[in-house]
Chains A and B, each alone.
Chain A
Amino acid sequence: LEDHLTGQRDYDLLVIGGGSGGLACAKEAAQLGRKVAVVDYVEPSPRGTRWGLGGTCVNVGCIPKKLMHQAALLGGLIRDAPHYGWEVAQPVPHDWRKMAEAVQNHVKSLNWGHRVQLQDRKVKYFNIKASFVDEHTVCGVAKGGKEILLSADHIIIATGGRPRYPTHIEGALEYGITSDDIFWLKESPGKTLVVGASYVALECAGFLTGIGLDATVMIRSIPLRGFDQQMSSMVIEHMASHGTQFLRGCAPSRVRRLPDGHLQVTWEDRTTGKEDTGTFDTVLWAIGRVPDTRSLNLEKAGVDTSPDTQKILVDSREGTSVPHIYAIGDVVEGRPELTPTAIMAGRLLVQRLFGGSSDVMDYDNVPTTVFTPLEYGCVGLSEEEAVARHGQEHVEVYHAHYKPLEFTVAGRDASQCYVKMVCLREPPQLVLGLHFLGPNAGEVTQGFALGIKCGASYAQVMRTVGIHPTCSEEVVKLRISKRSGLDPTVTGC
């Protein structure tokens, strides 16, 4: 039967979606000698923004986001420079067009790179919009409307997600933009209202402020839900003290275009019940993401989705309700929406399918970093989660307020530079989580994520010699526990 079936179908593996996860699957399978096809199609955003191969991360996510974050960081460094002897006349203006063009050029070079990689590995690439015909066949529609049928033994769905628009707010869709558009704007967004409290919202507001724009964040309830709340509030505190405005406990009710082209936003302050308005050049919705499953005709193949989220339901081996159809990445219910998890899950899946492996993806202790102006890196449990799982009396939190050496000469405020390690209280005090707020948080957190993967204990971390002078050495110098009530401010060398 197997031979018969294999002989009939066009491909061993068909991957729907050319983002980080999908491409990783396709390349891995090709490397294992399989016949592979990738289909990818970018539905233009409501504002008409479109992009090339590579998915969210490359085009409208991590990559352009971090580059714009870097632009904002450079603005801070320019202000530091005179303290270090560089004679730069202040203030220095910023040109959005120049930055955007440079960022977009880099992204385009990555799109090209992905196509070349697929070609090198003999993966067939179709720029078509796919939908299921039956459980082994997909129909693709090209830009011109031409249709093509593709069949495969195994199908991986990796279509990712797209930003959510609010449904009951007048003018939201007509006048608002999302993260799908911001990185591709040719002109500066000007005075911007960012609606949402996700990391996308805070990161965008952060870099907009950093390059000198007037940015306001409207948050309905709590910022960075799911992250450690003490850290989250410090992130907000830092942003607020560096010029980002916050409208807490507010929810927008409509957006209107004024005759002069400005956007008038009306919102309700939920604590006072009063209505208020403001005018902006740009309104950016960053209120969450929805999975890109609607046009897939999943019911034709019999793939189950969650009725609440429309995300695809899978087991621990990424299998859907249909035995040979799998799903990875942001389109899957209950998975972290992160590029590296999609890539690793995809590779492991393909190794199981074609490489005789039995390794399953471990979704515990996934490290991540929020690239707000003061970066927040974390891995493992938040303090709240640790207490919820183990009980207050079994959790020990070590923490420190530190001052990065670079901040001293530049006279920067380090009130929010903070690190905490959440451990079990019982020796050897297994590390449950690490939270780091400060410069280069991603670089600091990565290695410690490994340590936690290795089952690091507080005792082992304390036996690691610091690298001096760095910010990350503060982690191996954590001596003050919250329970002790002692002042966690680091002094001296």
Chain B
Amino acid sequence: MRRAVLGVGRAAAWRIRAGAESGQQRQRSPPLSPVPAPPPPAFRFVSRPGPAGSESETVEQSPPQSPGPGKAGDAPNRRSGHVRGARVLSPPGRRAHLSSPGPSSSSEAREELRRRLRELIERSRVMIFSKSYCPHSTRVKELFSSLGVECNVLELDQVDDGAKIQEVLSGITNQKTVPNVFVNKVHVGGCDQTFQAYQSGLLQKLLEEDSAYDYDLIIVGGGSGGLSCAKEAAILGKKVMVLDFVVPSPQGTSWGLGGTCVNVGCIPKKLMHQAALLGQALCDSRKFGWEYDQQVKHKWETMTKAIQNHISSLNWGYRLSLREKAVAYVNSYGEFVEHHKIKATNKKGQETYYTAAQFVIATGERPRYLGIQGDKEYCITSDDLFSLPYCPGKTLVVGASYVALECAGFLAGFGLDVTVMVRSILLRGFDQEMAEKVGSYMEQHGVKFLRKFIPVMIQQLEKGSPGKLKVLAKSTEGTETIEGVYNTVLLAIGRDSCTRKIGLEKIGVKINEKSGKIPVNDVEQTSVPYVYAVGDILEGRPELTPVAIQSGKLLARRLFGASLEKIYHTLFWPLEWTVAGRENNTCYAKIICNKLDHDRVIGFHILGPNAGEVTQGFAAAMKCGLTKQLLDDTIGIHPTCGEVGNRRF
């Protein structure tokens, strides 16, 4: 019999002989002495959190263990709850009472345990975390026995710190139950998943698997999420490749490395927004004593060129940073051809094949078209707008997403004639009171809204830069049709995931057939264990750059080294507006509190200048368990817009 000593407690890691009956012919495994922080081993997960209790006991229910100290409060994902609980009991505003989510020594001990578990998983071809009395665990052990495969087994009910181990495991794999099975460092899951993998042949494949792949990780898509994941994995010492290829838009627009945010999203959007704000600032400045001609014209070409120059420098920066971190970057289109193998096709049509142990899909989304006559021929989308070589002129923006409203807003800010055609509601998913206020502010500032209409046909009346287009639209409520003539029609009706033409069906990665989005579990794993996904293509996750960046980075850390966060997102007379004579009663802020939870702040909304700058800190505060009381106790900074949060509620 061989025994393994694991961490502070005694541990029994049993090696089961092929064909041996479970629990009888036991062998001692060599003692696992504490390892001095090994390089982060590669290991992977297939986490499929089964329905609670479906497979075995949960941590909370496990009978034989005495609850370790700080058992609940120390779980990383419960930490905020702990802090919250502590704060409620202590007087408000006293930091000393608010801190300490548990002594740091216990978190160090946890890290140590985590390292040892990893080591154990790393060294075993098959590693099973089991409980000796659990029938599911027994089934799994028997399965491997019948396959003639040796495996390492740790009976969690027979070690002192079994409960802690189970907890750390659930932190890594998001699976609370036993058995918890790893094959060649890949987390397969529990009993059901192991048998499914066996039936699909995946288990056999995992058992055969060797590290003969070209790369540890190939990332498909060089946007915010993909790049952050690539860089993090490279920092953790892995061999990483990024495949990125921009398929030109129907209007022929394409761009460099960096994905939507940098090229056709956040960055150019905010710069054009800034240009529009400057137009407003110019109007204001006269009231503040600055003297110049009343008529200031805006030149689209000057702005666009400056913005595109900035973007080029960012593209270049990304390439450099990949090179610095020794990430292989290939400007080719990636398409899965078989398990662990991807085909990369470059601009010239040359094909190259690469293999990798694991993959991350971060292909993002592209703007959707209407599917009506003339849309692809004559309309543009946000893919085209930011590099449009000419001023779009009189513009119809179709859609009511934030993209639609942001574009309409800055175009109107340049003095263009802008109409927004809205099928139903503005800013779906956002607080509707705020959304309507955004709409009425825009209306007051010259943006026209056509509500409850959808375009049915786009015709070209004249070619040119810009040309002239006739738009035919019909009412969503009646039979009424209307006609309008515009220089540009910008579609902003939503975005489609780039998941249908990358060979996912060849390796069995499931997508939501309707939305094209990829369902993943809590650790961003797809239906195929070695394939992960991050960013806008995920089902049910916010489509935001920082979310993709953060989740990409965390994914790489979970895969190769070093956990899951919840997201808060944002959608008075500001003093600066008073002298400028800008409208009163427009800027608005609100917080939403949960009365049943000590007035904990669960929503923060602000409409006004610098909303992004204001919201960020409040988001951090909410993360720390902000309550109405604490909000009231915080001193405002005077005079700012941010102080409304503290003074007006």
Our pick among B94, B275, B570, B643 for the contact of A85 (Cβ within 8 Å) is B275
Write the nearest CB–CB distance from A367 to chain B, whole angstroms: 5
Q: Is the CB of B274 within 8 A of A406?
A: yes
Q: B370 interface residue, CB < 8 Å from A? A: no
Within 8 A of A (CB), among B324-347: none
Per-residue CB contact flags for chain B residues 562-582 toward chain A (1 = under 8 Å, else 0) read 000101111000011011000
User: Which chain A residue has the least Cβ–Cβ distance from B636?
Assistant: A340
- How distant is the Cα of A82 from the Cα of B279 in the complex, in angstroms? 10
Determine which of B104, B285, B639 lies in contact with A62 in the assembled complex, contact meaning CB atoms within 8 Å: B639
Q: Which of B107, B292, B318, B576 contacts A67 (CB 8 A)?
A: B576
With contacts A92-B292, A446-B637 known, is A467 near B612, CB below 8 A? yes
Q: Report whether over half of chain B's contact residues are helix, strand or loop; otherwise say mixed.
A: helix
Q: Which residues of B contact A475 (CB under 8 A)?
A: 616-617, 620
Q: Is A453 an interface residue (CB 8 A)?
A: yes
Q: When chains A and B are docked, how far (Å) is the Cα of A440 from the Cα of B94?
A: 28
Assuming A67-B576, A447-B614, A492-B314, is B546 touching A468 (CB within 8 A)? yes
Among B80, B100, B293, B633, contact of A362 (Cβ-Cβ < 8 Å): B633
Question: 8 Å CB contacts to B: which residues of A333-383?
Answer: 338-341, 343-344, 362, 364-369, 377
Contacts of B310 in A (CB 8 A): 408-409
Closest to A456 in B: B624
B271 in contact with A476 (CB, 8 Å): no
Interface presence of B641 (CB below 8 A):
yes
Decide yes or no whether B552 CB sits under 8 A from chain A: no
Residues of chain B in range 518-575 having any CB-CB distance to chain A below 8 Å: 544-547, 549-550, 565, 567-570, 575
Q: Is A74 an interface residue (CB 8 A)?
A: yes
In angstroms, how far is the closest chain B Cβ from the Cβ of A71? 4
Which A residues are CB-close (under 8 A) to B575?
A: 63, 66-67, 70
Are the C-beta atoms of A86 and B612 separated by less than 8 Å?
no
* Given known A427-B104, A464-B619, A467-B615, contact A454–B299 (CB-CB < 8 A): no
Q: Is the CB of A340 within 8 A of B285?
A: no
B638 interface residue, CB < 8 Å from A?
Answer: yes
A445 in contact with B617 (CB, 8 Å) = yes
**Cα(A445)–Cα(B616), bound, Å:** 9
Task: Tell me whether B101 and A428 are in contact (CB under 8 A).
Answer: yes
Which residues of chain B (53-111) have a CB below 8 Å from chain A?
Answer: 80, 83, 87, 93-95, 97-101, 104, 107
The interface bits of chain A over 76-115 (1 if a CB of B lies within 8 angstroms of the residue's CB, else 0) are 0110111111111100111111111011001000000000
Q: Are A367 and B99 in contact (CB under 8 A)?
A: no
Of chain B, the residue at the smallest CB distance from A427 is: B104
* A453-B613 CB under 8 A given contacts A87-B299, A89-B293, A92-B290: no
CA distance A472 to B87 in the complex (A): 26
Query: In the complex, are the beta carbons of A77 and B285 less than 8 A apart?
Result: yes
Query: Across the interface, do B274 and A444 meet the contact criterion of CB distance under 8 Å?
Result: no
Report B-chain residues with C-beta under 8 Å of the C-beta of A41.
none
- Residue in B closest to A344 when the chains form the complex, CB atoms: B635
Bound together, the chains give a CA A405 to CA B290 distance in angstroms of 25
- Is A460's CB within 8 Å of the partner chain B? yes
A443 within 8 A of partner (CB): yes
Within 8 Å of chain B (Cβ to Cβ): is A451?
Answer: yes
B433 contacts the other chain (Cβ, under 8 Å)? no
Interface bracket on A: 35 or more
Which chain A residues lie closer than 8 Å to B645 at the CB level? Answer: 446-447, 450
A388 CB within 8 Å of chain B = no
The reply to whether B637 and A74 contact each other, CB–CB distance below 8 Å, is no
In the complex, whether B321 has a CB less than 8 A from a CB of chain A is: yes
Cα–Cα distance between A438 and B84 once the two chains are bound (Å): 32
Interface assignment of B482: CB less than 8 Å from any CB of chain A: no
CB distance A364 to B93 under 8 Å?
Answer: yes
- The answer, yes or no, to whether A470 is at the interface (CB within 8 Å) is yes
Roughly how many angstroms separate A377 CA and B643 CA in the complex, as a whole number? 13
Q: Are B613 and A464 in contact (CB under 8 A)?
A: no
Residue from A89, A445, A468 within 8 A of B544 (CB atoms): A468
Check B271–A409 contact: CB distance below 8 A: yes
Residue A465 at the chain B interface, CB threshold 8 Å: yes
Residue B373, interface by CB 8 Å: no
Within 8 A of A (CB), among B188-217: none
Q: How far is the CB of A72 from chain B (nearest CB, A)?
A: 9
- State whether the Cβ of B590 lies closer than 8 Å to any Cβ in chain A: no
Give Cα A446 to B614, complex, Å.
7
* Residues of B close to A332: CB separation below 8 A: none
* Nearest chain A CB to B345 CB, angstrom units: 27
19 extra A-B contacts, CB within 8 A, seeds A409-B274, A447-B620, A467-B616? A70-B576, A80-B278, A81-B281, A84-B274, A86-B279, A340-B637, A343-B647, A362-B94, A439-B613, A442-B640, A447-B642, A449-B637, A450-B634, A451-B617, A451-B621, A454-B625, A455-B97, A467-B612, A492-B314
16 contacts between A and B (CB under 8 A): A74-B290, A81-B278, A81-B279, A84-B306, A85-B301, A94-B290, A98-B288, A365-B635, A366-B635, A447-B621, A451-B617, A456-B624, A465-B565, A468-B261, A473-B546, A491-B321
Binding site for B on A (CB under 8 A): 57, 62-63, 66-67, 70-71, 74-75, 77-78, 80-89, 92-100, 102-103, 106, 211, 338-341, 343-344, 362, 364-369, 377, 405-406, 408-409, 426-428, 430, 439-440, 442-457, 460-461, 463-473, 475-476, 491-493
Interface residues of B (CB under 8 A from A): 80, 83, 87, 93-95, 97-101, 104, 107, 224, 258, 261-262, 266-267, 270-271, 274-275, 278-279, 281-282, 284-285, 287-293, 296-304, 306-307, 310, 314, 317-318, 321, 414, 544-547, 549-550, 565, 567-570, 575-576, 578-579, 610, 612-621, 623-626, 630-631, 633-643, 645-647
